[in-house]
Structure 1
Amino acid sequence: MFSLNLKIALRNLWRNKVITAINIGGLAIALAAFIIVTMYFTFETGFDRANPNYNEIYIIGRNLPDFKTNYTSPPLGKTIKAEVPEVVSVGTMKVSFFEIPVTSKNAVVFLSKCLYLDYEAAKMFNIKPSNGLVKPESTTQNLFYLSNENYKTLFPNNKNGVPELVGLGSRSSGMTAKLSGSVYADPHSNIAFDAISVVKEVGLGEGYGYNNYNTYIQVKPGTDIEALEAKVNAIYKREMIKADEDPNHETFKATSAFLDPLKNQHLKPKAGTGIGYKILMALSVLGILILVIACINFTNLSIAQAAKRAKEVGVKKVMGAYRFQLSLQFLTEILIQCLVSTVLGLIIAEIILPRFNNLFGVNLSIWTANSALLWQLPLILIFITLIAGVYPAMVLSGFKPALVLKGNFQKSKQSFWLQNGLLVFQFSIAVIFITGLLIINSQLTYMRTQDVGFKPAQVVYIKNLAYFASPGKFDPIRDRISKIPGVKSVTVANTIPDGSDGGKNSYTVDGKEQSLTFTGVDFDYFETLDIKIKEGRTFSREFKTDTVNSAILNEAAVAKYGLTHPIGKSIKGCQNKTYKIVGIIKDFKTLGFEKPVEPTIYSINDPCGNPKTEIMLKIEGSRMSEVLNTLKSQWPEINRLDGDNFRYQFLDEMYGRLFKKQEQLQSVFFAAAMLTVFIAMLGLFAFAKYITNSKIKEIAVRKILGASNLQIFKLINRTFLVMVVMANIISFPLAYILTKKWLETFAYRIDLPLLPFAMSAGLTILLTIITVSLQANSAVKANPVGALKYE
């Protein structure tokens, strides 16, 4: 029986080549998209799952009045370990993003993410160096490991990862360090590094004012996390009071400690925006919808062809076939098509996967032995077979033999409404995707063309190892660089405007205390970045006090304090340092468009901030290459600490990375919109073919009675146009709500425009008319005699 059903299935598929090709092709394209989305979802949700302590690790964070942070001070973890029995282990670590050249006889590597951690943290995160994890014997011992990749680059002939001596900084600096070996850096972990330094105790001697460490705890299985969080918060509050914090102060009352599980850190940390999670969810929904649309095509076309199979079903039922057997036969046909679609989908996915990997910065592969796709793919195949096939199989196997053999076959009203409803659903999704794509394009165009308040173009950021605590230390370097023809200005700061979030401190003006971001700058900072002054002046060498106690605020800081005449006022900050406000600058979007401009204070002198290391140059565009070549040749003399390791980046490229996530979303929506429209049009084309063929005699009669070609085109298009208009009416509210919610994630955004809605409606209606008219054209031009000669 199975072999007979298989032969019948293959024969029917071959007879209806066009419909079969549309079914298989549409489903294959949708499956390719769904396979890639499934792989990406598995990858993104799999971070740190290889860690045996995955479910018991939590990071301690702090709720502050204006923001949340995962940074805490070193003593907190030790106190929690000593007082809380539910905590098994406490690990402390600190990441240095300071880029350090490490050299050997063979090569040089640049460590941009060096992780300093204690032995307990290394053990907690299952870090296993080549010669085993060793606990440092004293507080002065430092076990330094390079990642396997970097170690092989420096020592290609050392296969065992044994200790080696390396140089730090330039080759001429003479600084060396002893490697303890190599270590595997899991690319699928939140604890990312290119080198680690294991010590007995991190942050030794630092108190509760040094909140720039990450504290992780490992708890006992089954621990009540809410109760534990309350204990941790109580300890944090108590220790802060001991550190001379005022418990009655508003800032203290609004501050608390929280616990965040390790499994949240990659996609939706409490101290983050959750943009990665939102992108993943958007991708997942798009992948599912595209697959559903393809399954709808399948279902619609299978039902549409029911009339051709009615007599076959009637004869088989008369001969004794059961409905179950007929359902199995039709499901076999659908399974064959789904199987072929799956194979084609894998081929298409393999072709487009490199582009997807490049867009999202991942390295997914279909053919890896441990790929979750090995068990996911059979489930997907069964799922689409059932979704696309169960209802058509029930419809086809449910025909009554007495009626269909008499020629009185008629599809049920339920099937008619289902077909039309599914077509409306298809076009509704397509309209939402098109509208969403147009609005995303509008927002991205706004972001690219809007004035961000400074000009990163022609500004070069030079990577540097030296600290410049005062202008006097930087002046010799500034003078040497300024003499190079083509250099317009030179400055140094503790951060660059590339989306980096600076450190915050409390500052008081007129008795009102607020939290401000501090940016340590030097002369010519505002001129180099072309930041506009609104009131007062910028820092100048003509005023000696500018290097001691002068400060500049941005508009957001002035608004936060509610100042009307800020120039000349005093502002007190870290270590009770008092500054005089000499200028107000216009706000500029250092954090991009998703976050509002941070209230910020700028000063040359700061007793508590990070050291100034970020050198920036404004260069004439026509002489850019010439200046960079000169800098490279003179850098060993200009900055001896860096020596021959001259490295630079263009600031506009660094700032442009802030748009990457939204550009990813734009690319995904573009692909999704194109796929949904394409698949919907395939289904519409096939469905129009069926409808036209079923009305061939009606068309012939109308032509004999004098109907024009235009009238017949209107007749055939009318039904489809009604459905497309209904799809637009249904989709507009959904598209409005979804795009409005997306736009609300931006601090600076466009007003929701109406044009994309009108354009998506016009596009879908136009495509419908073209698709249906192309299919109806042959029927309209056919000789009526051919359709009526047997009547």
Structure 2
Amino acid sequence: MLKTFVTLIFRNWWRNKTFACIAILSLTVGIAFTNMLVAFVTHEYNIEYSNPNKERIIWTMQDLPSKPGEKVAYMQSGIPDQLKEKYPEVEDYLQLNSLPVKYIEVGHQSFDPIEIINVNPSFPLFFPFELLYGSWNTFDNPRSIALSEKQAGRLFGKQNAIGKEILLGVEDFDGKVTKQVYVVNAVVKDRSQSAVNFDGLIYDPESLWGGATLLLMTQKADLKRFEAKVNEDKIQTLAGGKYFFITLDNALSTTYNQQILSFWHCRKDNLLMVGLISAILVLFIAVFNYLNMSLSRVIQQQKTLQTQKLMGATQREIRIQLFGDLFFMVIIAFLLSLLLMNDFLPIFNKMVSSGFSSSYFYSKEFFPYTVSIALFLAITASLFISLKLGRVNTDYSKTYLVKQKNRWVGVLVSVQFVIAIVLLIAMFTANSQLQLLERGGDRYRNVVELNGDKNRLIALKSAITSVSGVTGVSTSDVSLLNSWIMHADMKKEDGAEFQSAILQLSGDTGLIRVLKIE
């Protein structure tokens, strides 16, 4: 019996090749892009999902002196040690700070800068990265470095990177670039869904003056109570403000943390919501289009179904045939969508600024959900068609079927039209926002800033002016594109203290300008 059903289904597809191809293609594209959007959302929401200490890690923030009402993820070096010593619920801490690398040299070959973070030796306790080679004892030497698997391959190819030297051009607060040689003592295995993005890790306590700070609590902490105790004890802040403690999950969200940290994964909550809604709407359009075509095709099958009934086919067998027809088509489209997703993933990652790999599609976090959605879609659509249009008898004439079909098609087309309008409005809105950002950035297009000795730059100005294509040259003591913002306690003439944001200029002029904040 099963063999007969399958033969009839595929014979019917062959007779209606155009319909079968269009229906499968429509479903394949719809399911593929829906799955990619859903994968993007679930991937972002499951950052640090496998971290065993996720519930015990908290993120520290404090009031930003230069912008009252805003918070910054920063803690001065030495303060975490006080917290660990004073509060028994603090088991350990981790501070992270970017190393300002200008260039890299390996042997006699130069490479573009990479993301290197200065961290505490407690890093493996907070983030469960595995090592391919070496050991975490690399943190015992301030001139050793742990490279990521990706960067080790980029810099040294297939060679074992352990013991190899790399030269870094590191920029200091004065804009001077000094050469520092590091020895590779570990290679860190790439880890999907990590909150920390890095190419290399070092531990140099002399240059770790502070930064983003994480605390590991002995158990899941009452953050409000802990926050109240810390602020009551007047633990030092930048400008006498308060500390704020949030969960690791909230620290990944732009809703709670809007600070830009190049090494920290920031989850774009609004984009995720738009992505999820878009996924649902795209799936609806694909399904409704598929149902419209199926309704029309089943109407054309009435003569064949009537013939089958005259030949002895029961009502139940006809419904099973209709069910199998649609079910197999959805399953085939789902399998083809997996291939399409792999091909379009690089383009999709570029569009949404993500970096998950195709292996995530088959992970235990995502694959069961997408299979469940495919089965639900296949079973629901198949039941709808088989129950509504499987009643082939003398009282259920073709005229009545046409009326039913026209009614359902009218509803489905209307819904498709509304969804398409919503998606178009969303697309035009997003495009207008991108154009606005692009116009704002055009003011810096083709602008190059050179830092160095003031006298040499003045001499260089005349030479640059004569270069073809240069429309204008100006000199200034103020660095527009590369400056350091710091905070300091200042005193007025009457002895009153106040906080200032200090703009320390890069270059060799040594000029410091103070921007007074009342």
State the partner residue of 1:69: 72
Matching of residue 260 in structure 1 with residue 247 in structure 2:
yes
The DSSP-based 3-state class of the residue aligned with 2:256 is: coil
Flag the structure with larger Rg. 1
Task: Please give the alpha-carbon distance, in whole angstroms, between the structure 1 residues aligned to 2:316 and 2:144.
Answer: 70
* Cα pair 2:324 2:382 within 8 Å, conserved: no
Matching of residue 390 in structure 1 with residue 389 in structure 2:
no
State the partner residue of 1:456: 444
The DSSP-based 3-state class of the residue aligned with 1:490 is: coil
Q: Which amino acid aligns with 2:385?
A: P
Matching of residue 378 in structure 1 with residue 390 in structure 2:
no
Task: Please give the alpha-carbon distance, in whole angstroms, between the structure 1 residues aligned to 2:205 and 2:484.
Answer: 30
Q: Which amino acid aligns with 2:387?
A: M
State the partner residue of 1:626: none
Aligned pairs for 1:667-686 within 5 A: none
Aligned pairs for 1:312-351 within 5 A: 324-351=316-343
* Residues 714-758 of structure 1: per-residue CA shift (max 9 Å, x gap): xxxxxxxxxxxxxxxxxxxxxxxxxxxxxxxxxxxxxxxxxxxxx
Aligned partner of 2:464 among 464, 474, 485 = 485
* Residues 539-592 of structure 1: per-residue CA shift (max 9 Å, x gap): xx9xxxx968776xxxxxxxxxxxxxxxxxxx567xxxxxxxxxxxxxxxxxxx
Deviation at 1:410, TM superposition (A): 1.0
Identity %: 18
State the partner residue of 1:27: 27
Q: Which amino acid aligns with 2:105?
A: T
* Residues 281-335 of structure 1: per-residue CA shift (max 9 Å, x gap): 3223222211211111222233334444446656767887665543322121012
Q: Which amino acid aligns with 2:426?
A: G
The DSSP-based 3-state class of the residue aligned with 2:214 is: strand
* Cα pair 1:233 1:257 within 8 Å, conserved: no
Task: Please give the alpha-carbon distance, in whole angstroms, between the structure 1 residues aligned to 2:398 and 2:237.
Answer: 91
Aligned partner of 1:78 among 59, 77, 81 = 81
* TM-score scaled by length of structure 2: 0.78
State the partner residue of 1:16: 16
The DSSP-based 3-state class of the residue aligned with 1:485 is: helix
State the partner residue of 2:119: 117
Deviation at 1:46, TM superposition (A): 4.2
Deviation at 1:244, TM superposition (A): 11
State the partner residue of 2:215: 217
Q: Which amino acid aligns with 2:427?
A: L
Aligned pairs for 1:639-658 within 5 A: none
* Residues 598-632 of structure 1: per-residue CA shift (max 9 Å, x gap): xxxxxxxxxxxxxxxxxxxxxxxxxxxxxxxxxxx
Matching of residue 92 in structure 1 with residue 82 in structure 2:
no
Deviation at 1:25, TM superposition (A): 2.3
Deviation at 1:45, TM superposition (A): 3.6
State the partner residue of 1:272: 258
* Cα pair 1:299 1:389 within 8 Å, conserved: no
* Cα pair 2:330 2:378 within 8 Å, conserved: yes
The DSSP-based 3-state class of the residue aligned with 1:259 is: strand
Task: Please give the alpha-carbon distance, in whole angstroms, between the structure 2 residues aligned to 1:410 and 1:516.
Answer: 81
Q: 1:70 to 1:326 in 2, by over 3 A?
A: farther
Where does the alignment leave 5 or more consecutive residues of structure 2 unmatched? 171-176, 260-265, 466-471
Aligned pairs for 1:571-610 within 5 A: 571=516
* Cα pair 1:119 1:198 within 8 Å, conserved: yes
The DSSP-based 3-state class of the residue aligned with 1:403 is: coil
The DSSP-based 3-state class of the residue aligned with 1:460 is: coil
* Cα pair 1:87 1:219 within 8 Å, conserved: yes
Task: Please give the alpha-carbon distance, in whole angstroms, between the structure 1 residues aligned to 2:139 and 2:487.
Answer: 34
Deviation at 1:55, TM superposition (A): 3.5
Q: 1:38 to 1:125 in 2, by over 3 A?
A: same
Task: Please give the alpha-carbon distance, in whole angstroms, between the structure 1 residues aligned to 2:43 and 2:87.
Answer: 35
State the partner residue of 1:147: 148
Q: 1:117 to 1:409 in 2, by over 3 A?
A: same
The DSSP-based 3-state class of the residue aligned with 1:410 is: helix
Task: Please give the alpha-carbon distance, in whole angstroms, between the structure 2 residues aligned to 1:403 and 1:120.
Answer: 77
Q: 1:517 to 1:286 in 2, by over 3 A?
A: farther
Matching of residue 193 in structure 1 with residue 198 in structure 2:
yes
Aligned partner of 1:430 among 404, 420, 435 = 420
The DSSP-based 3-state class of the residue aligned with 1:181 is: strand
* Cα pair 1:119 1:199 within 8 Å, conserved: no
Task: Please give the alpha-carbon distance, in whole angstroms, between the structure 2 residues aligned to 1:374 and 1:265.
Answer: 27
Structure 1 vs Structure 2 CA RMSD: 4.3
The DSSP-based 3-state class of the residue aligned with 2:145 is: strand
* Cα pair 1:260 1:269 within 8 Å, conserved: no
Q: Which amino acid aligns with 1:390?
A: L
Where does the alignment leave 5 or more consecutive residues of structure 1 unmatched? 207-211, 247-251, 467-473, 524-540, 552-570, 574-791
State the partner residue of 2:263: none
Task: Please give the alpha-carbon distance, in whole angstroms, between the structure 2 residues aligned to 1:148 and 1:502.
Answer: 33
State the partner residue of 1:101: 103
* Residues 342-388 of structure 1: per-residue CA shift (max 9 Å, x gap): 34434444443343244345555547896567555533431321232
* Cα pair 2:60 2:212 within 8 Å, conserved: yes
Deviation at 1:280, TM superposition (A): 2.7
Task: Please give the alpha-carbon distance, in whole angstroms, between the structure 2 residues aligned to 1:377 and 1:435.
Answer: 28
Deviation at 1:202, TM superposition (A): 7.8
Task: Please give the alpha-carbon distance, in whole angstroms, between the structure 2 residues aligned to 1:149 and 1:548.
Answer: 40
Task: Please give the alpha-carbon distance, in whole angstroms, between the structure 1 residues aligned to 2:179 and 2:436.
Answer: 49
* Cα pair 2:95 2:214 within 8 Å, conserved: yes
* Cα pair 1:106 1:155 within 8 Å, conserved: no
State the partner residue of 2:230: 235
* Residues 428-471 of structure 1: per-residue CA shift (max 9 Å, x gap): 01111223333334444444456x7x942442135x7x8xxxxx
Deviation at 1:27, TM superposition (A): 1.2
- Length, aligned pairs only: 492
State the partner residue of 1:5: 5
Q: 1:444 to 1:199 in 2, by over 3 A?
A: closer
State the partner residue of 2:411: 421
Matching of residue 496 in structure 1 with residue 481 in structure 2:
yes
Q: Which amino acid aligns with 2:187?
A: V
Q: 1:95 to 1:150 in 2, by over 3 A?
A: same
Task: Please give the alpha-carbon distance, in whole angstroms, between the structure 1 residues aligned to 2:499 and 2:381.
Answer: 58
Deviation at 1:502, TM superposition (A): 5.2
The DSSP-based 3-state class of the residue aligned with 1:41 is: helix
Q: Which amino acid aligns with 2:258?
A: G
Q: 1:517 to 1:430 in 2, by over 3 A?
A: farther
Q: 1:256 to 1:143 in 2, by over 3 A?
A: same
* TM-score scaled by length of structure 1: 0.53
